[in-house]
Chains A and B, each alone.
Chain A
């Protein structure tokens, strides 16, 4: 037991740095992927065919590409195109680009859960486009979107570990450092698991709560 505790207390700074970077990476990529994903989602429900095509192509390509490949491309191939990132930036961009495709899908299917009759009825009442959007369509669409968006964010938090393979010191990179110190890896991995449970559990609880609170009988 003391050995188990010592793994954490002896390497407090490494764990602190690792999980600190995990949270930082998560927050940056969350903002970036939400912005890009909502934009792509808007493209996909827009009346402009070219934008719809662009959104669909992006989603279909990125969703069928492994995240690790996106990372590898940005870290190893992008410099050959004279596009140079710091490792941390590359990780944030990779997570943003990948996660945006899933957020785009959430936005699209969220908007599509609203029955067209709702907007037709609103228009029949004489509401303007802005009123239809903000008063009728968006509140219902958001209701359907929030729980799956939380799921995507939880998955993205876990996906930050992939950066471990690309020289970013976040939680997933701790084992390879510990291997050099000769610490028992089982304990190291248990501590990382506990760290992720601490980060994820509140998100999961919030997600379940929102899911119940926002559930709509259709």
Chain B
């Protein structure tokens, strides 16, 4: 157990008290779980027919297709957002005001607009002008603008995390600005921001679920279709539990990967730049 600032190692009386509270807490948690199971049972969620369709290959294919649609949107948006982020981070780091100012406006603006509204811009506006845009691209546009702006800030923080002395030394040996960035700053910055980038990509993957609202056939949309079938007694609960398990599995693995990277980079210091914090809620929510 890691030592906490809030308490010392407890003495005999403290240990006894903690044991009593611990037992009560365990009873409480078990009671909560029991209540959930009871509710499930009382409303017939454990009935075979509510779960039966997951045995059908057609339904499994539906789920896989939904997952593929989710991964497709996330993959395209991730690549575009990384590009968008790189361009606007470079803009904000530029020495020229004429590049810096508009880049700042773009990044700050897109971070302030709710993601769903950005997706609506991609969805409704082309419709208004009579262009047909698939809901995949509406979703990708929104995800790219929002996550690209957040990534731009991560990139900027990453480059700024390299101590000033490094670029001063680079100037001293006669490297130009571009060379300094490419040879000295970026290799160190990338290492320090890698965990933060991975955790932002988890956010992007999660946010593809907003495709549900514009009826892009991603995993959550498939979950609703599967759950809405009368023949199986409207198995919404099993359907969403399965979908949630898939999301938690994939995002959880990526989160663990980000955390592992973070720990590894903190332990093996081959860069002067400290890893960016992973717990920056500004990006993760």
Interface of A with B (CB < 8 Å)? 45, 47-51, 54, 60-61, 63-69, 72-73, 76-77, 80-83, 99, 102, 105-106, 109, 111-112, 114-116, 118-119, 123, 129, 133, 137, 148, 151-152, 155-156, 158-162, 164-165, 172, 175, 179, 184-186, 188-189, 192-193, 196-197, 200-201, 204
Interface size on B, residues (CB 8 A): 63
Taking a contact as CB atoms under 8 Å apart, the answer to whether A185 and B128 are in contact is yes
Nearest CB on A from B201, distance (A): 13
Q: Given A50-B26, A64-B202, A204-B112, output 13 extra A-B contacts at Cβ < 8 Å.
A: A64-B251, A65-B206, A66-B247, A69-B240, A76-B236, A81-B45, A102-B285, A114-B5, A158-B114, A179-B124, A186-B124, A188-B124, A197-B113
Q: Is B100 part of the contact surface with A, judged by Cβ < 8 Å?
A: no
Nearest CB on A from B15, distance (A): 9
Taking a contact as CB atoms under 8 Å apart, the answer to whether B220 and A151 are in contact is no
Taking a contact as CB atoms under 8 Å apart, the answer to whether A76 and B227 are in contact is yes
- Residues in B neighbouring A115, C-beta threshold 8 A: 5
Q: Which of A50, A106, A192 contacts B22 (CB 8 A)?
A: A50
When A159-B285, A172-B117, A201-B112 are in contact, do A105 and B279 touch as well, CB less than 8 Å? yes
Taking a contact as CB atoms under 8 Å apart, the answer to whether A68 and B210 are in contact is yes
Taking a contact as CB atoms under 8 Å apart, the answer to whether A80 and B282 are in contact is no
Q: How far is the CA of A2 from the CA of B104 in the complex (A)?
A: 30
**A-side interface mostly:** helix
Nearest CB on B from A105, distance (A): 6
Taking a contact as CB atoms under 8 Å apart, the answer to whether A197 and B248 are in contact is no
Q: Is B284 part of the contact surface with A, judged by Cβ < 8 Å?
A: yes
Taking a contact as CB atoms under 8 Å apart, the answer to whether A185 and B6 are in contact is no
Nearest CB on A from B267, distance (A): 19
Q: How far is the CA of A185 from the CA of B131 in the complex (A)?
A: 13
Taking a contact as CB atoms under 8 Å apart, the answer to whether A82 and B39 are in contact is yes
Nearest CB on B from A56, distance (A): 12
Taking a contact as CB atoms under 8 Å apart, the answer to whether A69 and B281 are in contact is no
Q: Is B62 part of the contact surface with A, judged by Cβ < 8 Å?
A: no
Q: Which of A66, A123, A189, A193 contacts B209 (CB 8 A)?
A: A66
Q: List 6 A-B contacts (CB under 8 A).
A: A60-B252, A64-B206, A65-B247, A189-B121, A197-B112, A197-B113
Q: How far is the CA of A66 from the CA of B240 in the complex (A)?
A: 12
Taking a contact as CB atoms under 8 Å apart, the answer to whether A66 and B220 are in contact is yes
When A73-B240, A76-B236, A189-B125 are in contact, do A161 and B39 touch as well, CB less than 8 Å? no
Chain B CB count within 10 A is highest, among A65, A66, A68, A123, for: A66
- Residues in A neighbouring B43, C-beta threshold 8 A: 80-82
Taking a contact as CB atoms under 8 Å apart, the answer to whether A156 and B6 are in contact is no
Taking a contact as CB atoms under 8 Å apart, the answer to whether A165 and B212 are in contact is yes
- Residues in B neighbouring A51, C-beta threshold 8 A: 21-22, 25
Taking a contact as CB atoms under 8 Å apart, the answer to whether A161 and B114 are in contact is yes
Nearest CB on B from A30, distance (A): 13
Taking a contact as CB atoms under 8 Å apart, the answer to whether B18 and A48 are in contact is yes
1/0 per residue, CB under 8 A from A, across B103-144: the answer is 000000000111111001100110110000000000000000
